[in-house]
Structure 1
Amino acid sequence: MTDAIRREPGASWLSVIWSARHDPAARILNIDLLTVLIVLLLPWSTSGVAIAAVLWLVALIPTIEPRALLRSLLRPIAALPIALFALALVGTLWSDASWGARLHAVSPTAKLLLLPLLFYHFERSPRGLWVFIAFLASCTLLMVVSWAVAFEPDLTLKDDATMRGIFVKNYIAQSHEFALCAVALAYPIMMAVRAGRTRLAALLAVIAFSLLANMVFVVVSRTALVTIPVMLAVFALLHLKWRTTIFAASAAILLAGMVWNVSPDLRATGNKFLADWQQTTVQSNPSGVGSRLEFWQKSLRFIAEAPVIGHGTGSTRGLFEKAAAGQVGFRAEVVANPHNQTLAVAIQWGVFGIVVLLALWWKHLTLFRGEGLAAWIGLLVIVQNIFTSLFNSHLFDFHEGWIYVLGVGVAGGMVLGAKRDTEPVASLPS
């Protein structure tokens, strides 16, 4: 690729990529760059991610070695995402929903098919770290823009901007990104301090605290408020000594109390839990918390009606429509998503779906049992997804689902590549 640039100094990047089509190393680099492009776009654009993902697949296909890919697909970590997609596809056969609704419900699971391909590619690529640096840089830029929009709301690109500090997408997606990046930085900060790289540690700490400050003083989702302490606890249990953990927890509680007193936005978000509950139970009006409890109760009844194979792909909305007949207030709400990942799976595919989902999470968790930055990032992405999926269907949602696919796929490939490189080579018989 470098030779091509030297021969044609004025050539565009597209012509350079095309001229490198016969160079295996350049092909791998192109796929890495496209992965970087996807994560750069993820905090900003939905259509951009979809287009870049298609280009990524087109670039990957010529580099595939069939036998190596087949061996990779036989691993449970790769087979289980495929199994969940296959279950969604087969589940269309016994669903009562329209075919349009069935196929629409299959599409959120399709992105899981990229997980095995990401494992395969980044097991052989040495540039997985580029992807995480790019995502951190993109989220940091979004954080700066969020501060600007908080002070000048007219800068937003959203037509119905009801929350301050949101430039694109929504506050749930933004909080998900900022929380993940802020907590993920704890590990490299710790390692930089231990290595005596104080400037790098200080830079990363500034970025982490800036992301948290944005969540405290601009906007934060309630899901992030619940999951950040869990993620920090996971870091403390894995990487800190008990005395340090107790000290850090005490300091964090003290700091949280101080922040709670000085941030009216944070108090308003926290108080909304109780306000939502009262709005639903007293006034019978829909609310975030109260409506979710109603969705979950109805979902359990739906699951009890078809516990083994579920009601089929795309059946959720129709079931809520039947349950809402003759009801008023929050009980008359109709949704296609029960706002819980396990319930969303169980309604459609019953016990079979629950087994595949839990096995997927478990196998991916066990992949990241070791030490290192890739293992920490992969573990954190899964932990965040599991706990946020108590209140949302984040594995199926576009933004959060792509974070899972890219985070686990790239980090998993890096971990697999590191294990392969450290495995002893069997000596040939003399």
Structure 2
Amino acid sequence: MIKTPGMRLGLVCLVAASVGLSLAIVSISKVLLVIAALVVLLRGGRSAADVAPLQTMWTPRLATLVVFVFAFSLLWTTAPMDSALGAVGKYGKFLVIPALLVLIRTRQEALYALAFFLGAQVFLLLSAWLLYFHVPVPWATANMAKTSYAVFSSYLDQGIMSAVVAAVFWHLKALAPTRPLFFAAIVVSILALGNVLIVFSGRTGYLVAVAMVSLAIFWALPGKYRFASVFVPPLIALVVFFSFDKVAQRFSVIKAEISTYSSKPDPLSSSGVRLNFWKTSVRAIAEKPLMGSGAGSWVTEFNRIERLKTPAHKSLDSYSHGNPHQEFLLWGVQLGVGGIFLLFSFFGSILFDLRKMGHPVSLAGQSVLLALIVSCLFNSSLYDAYIGDFFCVSLGVLLAYGFHSRETVQGMTSVDV
């Protein structure tokens, strides 16, 4: 299938760019990528360099383990088999990370992948700004593109993505080969942050933006002053709240919804739905803490528990309500407490690998990781399509670039010695 380096690199670059394009392109390209990586691994005569990232990094091992565990849970899942297989397929996106690490062979190839990833994100960012100023964007396919200004997905997804892109450009500006590109990266970072706070109305995006700015300030402070960084997030949140009307309105709605739910637990509002999902998910985990209910079982377990409370409960369907909008609880319901530990282990493996890499890439990657963790607290960001693909591709590309950059530095050092 992959007969030339050009075809291999072209596929890698397509996947890197796809998460700034439509969901159809994302889906097709990631399947081709995983198949290509399997062909490379299964063929004979491959060199040690082909599998070096898999042997020396923890992230690809944990990513593969995640898919295996979810597939293994099909043996005891309470979900209909089509829903269970669909859930395993959704977590199949984890394989994009080891696939990228297998197919990207050099620092130059990683740089191409990074350039395509960042270029597609700039395209997405500028398209959203055009929609905001009511400029026709023929390629915008989102259902509410003219009102929510999201181009291909939802304002929730694109708000989170914009916050991540702001952090990535900010930290990677140090890699710019020229001063104009250095300042261009700063401009893109500011535009992306403005995209979150002005254009979109996703509340998780606001929280991720606060986290990204707070982390950047933490790293910018001298070591002896970093203790003061504990005060940075609330200060940034207050500045954002009082500076942007849309942010203030959205968080005021949360306060009102939670207050209403506290006095009368009627899950009609966005916050009320989440709180009800979370409460029921905790009960489902408590009932089956060791092994959970298996892949794709969240809807089945939610409906079962709700019917015990209210026999007239109208069942949710797995297509429109397949998760509790909280990744940690989703893994707990499906895999038990061990599933939550597995998710933390996956995050830990990423952090462990990133901290061994060069400074700018390490900071950019750790920012993406923090954004993912914050997103998972309020959404099922790894389970969901598009936003989950975005996180897997961005982490895969950054890990590949950091790995091969480190190899290059080590090679130069050994030559000098």
Deviation at 1:234, TM superposition (A): 2.5
Q: Is 1:237 aligned with 2:239?
A: no
Please point out which of 208, 211, 216 is paired with 1:227: 208
Tell me: CA distance 1:244–1:399, structure 2 relative to 1, closer, same or farther (3 Å). Answer: farther
Q: State percent identity of aligned pairs.
A: 22
Count of residues paired in the alignment: 399
Counterpart residue number, 1:202 = 183
Counterpart residue number, 2:338 = 352
Tell me: CA distance 1:116–1:171, structure 2 relative to 1, closer, same or farther (3 Å). Answer: same
Please point out which of 371, 374, 382 is paired with 1:384: 371
Counterpart residue number, 1:181 = 165
Deviation at 1:346, TM superposition (A): 1.3
Tell me: CA distance 1:423–1:129, structure 2 relative to 1, closer, same or farther (3 Å). Answer: closer
Cα deviation digits, residues 263-300 of structure 1 (max 9, x gap): 33222222222132134334624222222222222111
- Structure of higher RCO (CA pairs closer than 8 Å, 6+ residues apart): 2
Tell me: CA distance 1:130–1:275, structure 2 relative to 1, closer, same or farther (3 Å). Answer: farther
Native 8 Å contact 2:76 2:294 kept in 1: yes
Counterpart residue number, 2:109 = 127
**Secondary structure of residue in 1 paired with 2:160:** helix
Which moves more between the two structures, 182-191 or 224-233? 182-191
Counterpart residue number, 1:6 = none
Deviation at 1:59, TM superposition (A): 4.7
**Secondary structure of residue in 2 paired with 1:325:** helix
Cα deviation digits, residues 316-366 of structure 1 (max 9, x gap): 1111112222767xx978443122212111111113322322211101111
Q: Is 1:420 aligned with 2:391?
A: no
**Secondary structure of residue in 2 paired with 1:406:** helix
Counterpart residue number, 1:399 = 386
For 1:66-81, list aligned pairs within 5 A.
66=46, 68=48, 72-74=53-55, 75-81=57-63
Deviation at 1:238, TM superposition (A): 3.2
Native 8 Å contact 1:28 1:125 kept in 2: no
**Secondary structure of residue in 2 paired with 1:390:** helix
Please point out which of 38, 45, 55 is paired with 2:32: 55
| Cα separation, 1, equivalents of 2:240 and 2:19 | 30
Tell me: CA distance 1:29–1:238, structure 2 relative to 1, closer, same or farther (3 Å). Answer: farther
Which moves more between the two structures, 52-61 or 199-208? 52-61
For 1:43-192, list aligned pairs within 5 A.
43-57=20-34, 59-60=36-37, 63-64=40-41, 66=46, 68=48, 72-74=53-55, 75-124=57-106, 126-152=108-134, 157-160=141-144, 163-189=147-173
Deviation at 1:186, TM superposition (A): 1.9
| Cα separation, 2, equivalents of 1:309 and 1:274 | 36
Unaligned 5+ segments in structure 2 are none
Which moves more between the two structures, 411-420 or 78-87? 411-420
**Secondary structure of residue in 1 paired with 2:104:** helix
Native 8 Å contact 2:163 2:212 kept in 1: no
Q: Is 1:28 aligned with 2:5?
A: yes
Please point out which of 356, 367, 372 is paired with 2:359: 372
Native 8 Å contact 1:153 1:165 kept in 2: no
AA in 1 matched with 2:68: A
AA in 2 matched with 1:338: P
Tell me: CA distance 1:131–1:251, structure 2 relative to 1, closer, same or farther (3 Å). Answer: same
Tell me: CA distance 1:291–1:252, structure 2 relative to 1, closer, same or farther (3 Å). Answer: closer
TM-score by length of 1: 0.81
Native 8 Å contact 1:44 1:168 kept in 2: yes
Native 8 Å contact 2:51 2:102 kept in 1: no
Native 8 Å contact 1:385 1:394 kept in 2: yes
Native 8 Å contact 1:153 1:164 kept in 2: no
TM-score by length of 2: 0.83
Please point out which of 323, 327, 351 is paired with 1:337: 323
Please point out which of 176, 197, 200 is paired with 1:216: 197
Deviation at 1:422, TM superposition (A): 4.3
Tell me: CA distance 1:153–1:332, structure 2 relative to 1, closer, same or farther (3 Å). Answer: farther
Bigger Rg, structure 1 or 2: 1
Please point out which of 395, 409, 415 is paired with 2:396: 409
Tell me: CA distance 1:218–1:409, structure 2 relative to 1, closer, same or farther (3 Å). Answer: closer
| Cα separation, 1, equivalents of 2:75 and 2:89 | 16
Cα deviation digits, residues 167-208 of structure 1 (max 9, x gap): 32100111121101111222234566xx9x543332222211
RMSD over equivalenced CA pairs, Å: 3.4
For 1:311-326, list aligned pairs within 5 A.
311-325=293-307
| Cα separation, 1, equivalents of 2:240 and 2:346 | 37
| Cα separation, 2, equivalents of 1:256 and 1:203 | 26
Native 8 Å contact 1:163 1:219 kept in 2: no
Tell me: CA distance 1:133–1:268, structure 2 relative to 1, closer, same or farther (3 Å). Answer: farther
**Secondary structure of residue in 2 paired with 1:395:** coil
Tell me: CA distance 1:292–1:414, structure 2 relative to 1, closer, same or farther (3 Å). Answer: same
